[in-house]
Structure formats: structure tokens, C-alpha cells
């Protein structure tokens, strides 16, 4: 009877185990199908947790979107860093696909050389990088297109209002832009979800749009914007309200704006409109006479005193920033000289934590002013472009007087030790500059707390001469850019024309997790190496000095001098060998410490942790067995 009971119990255990396996398999399949959104991000920096702005964009998709990730698997087999970043990109895309509940479809393609996939990648605008295995080209980009919500078979791309296929792409995922990976993908999704080009308004007292009557073309920066956006020129003379369909307003060199136009701009910002202001203490392309026929003077400067005061902005249109360390070289009177008022700003002067300037290398400005905040300001100023600490502010009149000889500006030059802000984002809650109009219908006294305005203290950076030159190629005029001024303006319009959700997505941490302990050991060894190197160089210089002192010796003292030289050389050689041995000892010690750290990590991961888990399992099993034996039968 007891034996039969044990057999029955054993069969019951096997049946229960089989049932658990079936139940686990069913739950796994169900979770992979219906519980894709239920994920847990265990990374230290929450790399796979979508930002609220991204979630808003993904949840607001109104039509199915197909994303195709092109990555050259075979060509990157010897590029582990790029393969690691590809995994990061793929996992970010999969996270968005899981969140979209079927609105985003992801396809991954390896475009092998000379294949149809490679041709389709090129046709979609992807950029191939050189340096792959066996000299192969490397594709690593994303193509997105809108597909119909219903229909059978493989859907065709949807057309926009111009009848062209609605296809957008990220030409190449640059690992240096990893901090903006989520922003770039979310921006592509947002643009695919919006079928029409963003509308941008332009108010300018400069001839940025050219003059068709006399055959004068628009400035290159404006022509570049026209390819991506719908531009609308606005006359400030009769302006009383800015239409709601204007997603970005470019206010370039505002001079003598009517009060109604200023009020319209004021209310546009308070309603959440995106404004970019270009002011200048000396707009060099302003063709207005300095003194007109009626005796009215014009200093070619621009300002928004009422609006700046309401926003807490401190700007002096009579001051120009000089920076001798970033002075551009110009040709004047047949000779080359550095112009401290014309600046070539490099990567150190650009804010690489901002998506607008993150990928830019150089921006040229001329006779630029600067911004600061007033002591009682409630807004925040986030620099985009700034000078070096070698800068100095001088009166604009002094720069005008030195137009024929800019080297005069370097006389009595005294750096202020200040990084002057030449362009910035202004954040915060803005108050109306026209409280006296509070009785008008629809008047707003304050903006939302997260309002934003872009301020740029130079209009000349828009001009062709500072960033692009024309070349004749086969009878066609081609533009060759030598600075990123045009990209800067395009990035601003691109960034601001998106939704508030897109603007809220900031840079994220990278997925690269350095070995901090190893890096600390290397830094310590580098310090030791540096001290030894400096010591060796000092001894080498001292020995050379002694040899130079002994060199002029002639006649009867030549043999003695030669003996002394030999003694010096032998001593130096011995000391140099000793220092080289010490350097090798330091390197060997560094390698030994790194190897010891690696062995400790391997022991913990391979031996200690599995042993602890096994021991815990054995202890748990032993306790279970002991309890079952102690139970009465």
C-alpha cells in the first residue's frame, strides 16, 4: 500500500511539472504578444526608458509608419564599437515599436554590396561610410515612410500634398551623436506624422529674400530654408496679429517696428509661438544711408528694448565683442590681417549639449553683440554661441572708425576674462511688454512657465560671405560651404518647428560604460610617466648646456675637454637607462594592477557568484529534505 502511494505521488509530481512547463510556455507566448509594453529598465541611466516627449509623439501617431534600419553586418565585423552602437539603436527602436501598439513597423536589412537593398538604401538618401572590412562601404541609417492604415499586401509609401512619396531618413547614425539618438528618431516620427511642411514667417529689414526685379537672389541661408519649409514674408507695417499656422517666426534686424507689430510679436510668444530674434550692433549688410536726405541718422544697429526689458534680457546695441584669439584673417589693401571683430567660433565656443549646435564645427560672425540677464530677471539664459575669455567689448563707433585698418582694434587690447554670450536660448515665464493693453480682447499677461525664445546678437552670420562661396560648375552655380552658419539656421528652424513634446527631449547619457577603476590606474601611471619624462628632459637640456660650454675649448685643453665631454655623456647615458628602467617598472606595475583587477572580476563573475547561488540552492534543498524527513508518515 505504501509503495502504491509513492508511485501515485511520483506520477502526480511529473504531471504537475509537465503542467507547469505548458503554463510557462503559454505565459511566455502571451507576454511576447500582448504584454510588450510591460518592460523594466534596469540600466543606471535609464537608457531604455522613453522620455515623456517621445511617449507623447509615439502615442499620438495617427497613421502606421514603417521604419527600415539598414546596417551592414558583414562590412562591420571588424568594427566592434559600431556594432555595439547598432545594438543600442535597434533596442531603442524596438522600445518605440513596443510602445506604439502596432503603429510602428520595424524592418532590419543588411545591404550587401551590389544588391537591390544597397540600391534602395542609396535611393532613400542614406550615406555610406568607408572603412569597412575589405574596403566595403558601411550603411547604418534609418528610413521611414507613412503607409496606408488599410490594404492588402506590401503597402506603398503615402504621398504628401505635393504628390511625392512621404519618405524621410536619418542618413547615418553617428556614434558621436548618441546623446541625441532618441531626439533624432522621435523627430523623424513626428515629421512623418505631420504631412505638411512647417510654416515659417520672416520679418526682416535686410534684403534676405533678394530682389527679383533686379535679379538679386535670396541669401543662401534663406534658399536653404525654402527647400525644407514653407516661408512666408510678413510686412510689419500693417501687422496686428501673427497667424497661428506660423510655427517659427524669424525676426531679422528689427528697426523702427510699429507698436502694433511689437505687440503682435509679444502676444505670439506668450501664446507659445517660437521666435528667433536676430539683432546686431552693426549690421554690415544694412544698405540704409547713415545720414539720409532729411538729416536722419541711422547707425545700422537693431534692438527690441521693450520686449527685452520684459523678458529680463540685458543687451547693449552700442557694444561689439572683439576676440583676438578667434579673429578671422581677411584680405584688405593687398595684405592679410586678423580682424578681431570678425570671429571664427570653433567647437569650444559652441554648446555641444544642445541639439542645434551639437554636430556643428564652425560658425563665423562679424561685429556681434552679446546678451546677459538683468539682476531681477526670472528667465534663464542657455548659451549656444559664446566668445573665449580673451574677448573684450568695445563701442561700436570704434569698430566703424577702424574699418580701413582693423589692426587698430588691437591697440591697448585688454581681455575682460568673460565668455560673452553671442546666441542663446531664453527659457522661463515671460511677462507682456504691453500691460497697458490688458483691456484688449484675448490679451495675455504671461506665458506658460516653459516658454522659449532664441536670441542671436548678429545678423551678418546669415550673409553668404561668412559661410558660403559660389562656384561655377559646368555652367551651373554651385555653393560650397566653408562654415556651418546655414546648418545652424536650419537646425534652429527644424528644432523649433516641432511640437513642444519634441522640444522637451534633451540629450541622454551614452551607453558606453567606461572601466573607471582601470582609467584611474592609467591616470595615476600617466602622472608618474609625465614626471619621469619631465625629469629626463630637464637632464637632457642640462647635459646639452654643459656640452655647449665645453665645445669652444681648443689647443692644449682639447683632450681634457674631450674627456669631460665623454664623462658627461656616459653619466647621461647611465641615468637615461636608469630612468627608462623605472618607466618600464611603472608600466609593468600598471599592467599588473589591471591584470589583478581583471582576475578579481573574473573570479567574482565566473566562480564566486555561481558558487554562492549553487550553495544557496543546495542549502535550500537540504532544508527541504530535512523537513520532509522529520514529518510523520
Same domain, 528 and 430: no
pLDDT tens digits, residue range 11-37?
766 677 777 778 877 776 665 555 444
Same domain, 176 and 212: no
Same domain, 115 and 136: yes
List Cβ neighbours of 176 (8 Å cut-off, separation of 6 or more).
359
Same domain, 380 and 283: yes
Q: State the chain's mean pLDDT as an integer.
A: 82
Same domain, 150 and 206: no
Does residue 10 lie in a domain region? no
> Residue 602's pLDDT band (boundaries 50, 70, 90)?
confident
% of the chain exceeding 70 in pLDDT: 74
In the predicted structure, residue 509 carries a pLDDT above the cut 60 = no
Is the alpha carbon torsion for 303, 369, 433, 492 positive or negative?
A: positive
Q: Which among 138, 163, 193 is the end of a domain? A: 193
Rounded CA gap, 467 and 277, in Å?
Answer: 20
- Phi/psi for 472 (5° steps) reads -90, 120
How much is the pLDDT for 164? 46
- Strands in 56-147 per DSSP E: 65-71, 104-109, 128-129, 138-146
Lowest mean pLDDT of 100-109, 248-257, 469-478, name the range. 469-478
Grid cell digits, residue 445: 499677461
Does residue 437 lie in a domain region? yes
How much is the pLDDT for 153? 45
Grid cell digits, residue 283: 549690421
Same domain, 154 and 203: no
Q: Which residue has the higher pLDDT, 545 or 5?
A: 545
How much is the pLDDT for 154? 45
Residues forming a β-bridge with 329: 338
Same domain, 239 and 376: yes
How much is the pLDDT for 266? 97
For residue 36, give Cα distances in angstroms to 26, 100, 258. 15, 10, 57
Rounded CA gap, 415 and 322, in Å?
Answer: 9
In the predicted structure, residue 161 carries a pLDDT above the cut 50 = no
Contact indicator for 359, 177 with CB cutoff of 8 Å = yes
How much is the pLDDT for 162? 41
Does residue 408 lie in a domain region? no
How much is the pLDDT for 133? 75
Q: Which among 193, 212, 230 is the end of a domain? A: 193
Rounded CA gap, 333 and 318, in Å?
Answer: 28
Rounded CA gap, 48 and 93, in Å?
Answer: 10
Instruction: Looking at mean pLDDT, say which of 39-43, 69-73, 501-505, 608-612 comes out highest.
Output: 69-73
When divided into structural domains, the chain yields a total of 3
pLDDT tens digits, residue range 288-322?
887 666 666 778 999 999 999 999 999 999 999 99
> What pTM value is reported for the model?
0.68
Does residue 28 lie in a domain region? no
Does residue 340 lie in a domain region? no
At 93 the three-state DSSP class reads helix
How much is the pLDDT for 362? 95
Contact indicator for 432, 443 with CB cutoff of 8 Å = yes
Rounded CA gap, 83 and 65, in Å?
Answer: 25
Does residue 349 lie in a domain region? no
At 13 the three-state DSSP class reads helix
Does residue 279 lie in a domain region? yes
Same domain, 443 and 302: yes
What number is the average pLDDT over the span 187-214?
88
Same domain, 483 and 606: no
> Domain span at residue 236?
199-289+298-314+369-387+417-503
Nearest to 224 by CA among 45, 477, 462: 462
How much is the pLDDT for 48? 65
> Residue 556's pLDDT band (boundaries 50, 70, 90)?
very low
What number is the average pLDDT over the span 437-463?
95
For strand 313-315 and strand 248-252, is the pairing parallel, antiparallel, or unpaired? unpaired
Same domain, 236 and 376: yes
Length of the chain: 633
At 558 the three-state DSSP class reads helix
pLDDT tens digits, residue range 217-246?
899 999 989 988 899 999 999 999 999 899
Does residue 564 lie in a domain region? no
Same domain, 463 and 527: no
**Number of C-beta neighbours around residue 429 at 10 A:** 14
Same domain, 189 and 221: no
Q: Which among 137, 172, 193 is the end of a domain? A: 193
What CATH number is associated with residue 126?
Answer: 3.40.30
SS (H, E, C) 162-183: CCCECEEEECCCCHHHHHHHHH
Amino acid at each position: 500500500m505504501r509503495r502504491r502511494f509513492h508511485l501515485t505521488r511520483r506520477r502526480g509530481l511529473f504531471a504537475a511539472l509537465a503542467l507547469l512547463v505548458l503554463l510557462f510556455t503559454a505565459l511566455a507566448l502571451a507576454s511576447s504578444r500582448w504584454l510588450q509594453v510591460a518592460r523594466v529598465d534596469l540600466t543606471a541611466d535609464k537608457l531604455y526608458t522613453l522620455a515623456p516627449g517621445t511617449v507623447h509623439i509615439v502615442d499620438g501617431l495617427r497613421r502606421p509608419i514603417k521604419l527600415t534600419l539598414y546596417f551592414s553586418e558583414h562590412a562591420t565585423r571588424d568594427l566592434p564599437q559600431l556594432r555595439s552602437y547598432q545594438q543600442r539603436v535597434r533596442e531603442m527602436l524596438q522600445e518605440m515599436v513596443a510602445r506604439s501598439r502596432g503603429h510602428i513597423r520595424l524592418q532590419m536589412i543588411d545591404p550587401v554590396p551590389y544588391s537591390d537593398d544597397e540600391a534602395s538604401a542609396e535611393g532613400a538618401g542614406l550615406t555610406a561610410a568607408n572603412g569597412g572590412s575589405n574596403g566595403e562601404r558601411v550603411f547604418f541609417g534609418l528610413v521611414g515612410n507613412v503607409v496606408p492604415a488599410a490594404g492588402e499586401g506590401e503597402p506603398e509609401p503615402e504621398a504628401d500634398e505635393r504628390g511625392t512619396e512621404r519618405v524621410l531618413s536619418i542618413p547615418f547614425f553617428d556614434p558621436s551623436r548618441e546623446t541625441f539618438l532618441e531626439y533624432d528618431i522621435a523627430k523623424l516620427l513626428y515629421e512623418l506624422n505631420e504631412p505638411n511642411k512647417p510654416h515659417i514667417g520672416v520679418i526682416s529689414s535686410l534684403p534676405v529674400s533678394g530682389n527679383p526685379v533686379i535679379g538679386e537672389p535670396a541669401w543662401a541661408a534663406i534658399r536653404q530654408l525654402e527647400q525644407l519649409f514653407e516661408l512666408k514674408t510678413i510686412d510689419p507695417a500693417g501687422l496686428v496679429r501673427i497667424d497661428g499656422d506660423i510655427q517659427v517666426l524669424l525676426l531679422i534686424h528689427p528697426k523702427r517696428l510699429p507698436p502694433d507689430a511689437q505687440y503682435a510679436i509679444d502676444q505670439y510668444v506668450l501664446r507659445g509661438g517660437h521666435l528667433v530674434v536676430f539683432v546686431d550692433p552693426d549690421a554690415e549688410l544694412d544698405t540704409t544711408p547713415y545720414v539720409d536726405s532729411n538729416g536722419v541718422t541711422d547707425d545700422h544697429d537693431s534692438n527690441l528694448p521693450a520686449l527685452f526689458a520684459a523678458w529680463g534680457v540685458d543687451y547693449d546695441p552700442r557694444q561689439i565683442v572683439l576676440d583676438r584669439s578667434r579673429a578671422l584673417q581677411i584680405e584688405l589693401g593687398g595684405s592679410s590681417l586678423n580682424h578681431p571683430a570678425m570671429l571664427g567660433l570653433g567647437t569650444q565656443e559652441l554648446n555641444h549639449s544642445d541639439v542645434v549646435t551639437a554636430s556643428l564645427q564652425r560658425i563665423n560672425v562679424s561685429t556681434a553683440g552679446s546678451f546677459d540677464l538683468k539682476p531681477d530677471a526670472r528667465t534663464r539664459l542657455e548659451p549656444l554661441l559664446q566668445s573665449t575669455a580673451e574677448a573684450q567689448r568695445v563701442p561700436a563707433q570704434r569698430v566703424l572708425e577702424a574699418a580701413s585698418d582693423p589692426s587698430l582694434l588691437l591697440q591697448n587690447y585688454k581681455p575682460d576674462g568673460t565668455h560673452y554670450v553671442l546666441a542663446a536660448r531664453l527659457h522661463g515665464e515671460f511677462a507682456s511688454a504691453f500691460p497697458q493693453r490688458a483691456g484688449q480682447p484675448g490679451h495675455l499677461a504671461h506665458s506658460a512657465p516653459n516658454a522659449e525664445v532664441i536670441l542671436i546678437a548678429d545678423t551678418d552670420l546669415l550673409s553668404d560671405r561668412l559661410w558660403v562661396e559660389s562656384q561655377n560648375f559646368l555652367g551651373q552655380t554651385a555653393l560650397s560651404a566653408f562654415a556651418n552658419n546655414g546648418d545652424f539656421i536650419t537646425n534652429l528652424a527644424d528644432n523649433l518647428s516641432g511640437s513642444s513634446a519634441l522640444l522637451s527631449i534633451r540629450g541622454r547619457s551614452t551607453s558606453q560604460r567606461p572601466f573607471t577603476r582601470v582609467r584611474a590606474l592609467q591616470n595615476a601611471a600617466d602622472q608618474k610617466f609625465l614626471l619621469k619624462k619631465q625629469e629626463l628632459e630637464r637632464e637632457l637640456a642640462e647635459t646639452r648646456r654643459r656640452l655647449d660650454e665645453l665645445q669652444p675649448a681648443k689647443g692644449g685643453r682639447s683632450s681634457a675637454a674631450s674627456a669631460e665631454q665623454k664623462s658627461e655623456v656616459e653619466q647621461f647615458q647611465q641615468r637615461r637607462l636608469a630612468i627608462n628602467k623605472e618607466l618600464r617598472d611603472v608600466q609593468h606595475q600598471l599592467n599588473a594592477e589591471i591584470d589583478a583587477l581583471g582576475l578579481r572580476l573574473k573570479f567574482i563573475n565566473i566562480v564566486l557568484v555561481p558558487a554562492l547561488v549553487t550553495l544557496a540552492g543546495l542549502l535550500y534543498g537540504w532544508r527541504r529534505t530535512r523537513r520532509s524527513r522529520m514529518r510523520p508518515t
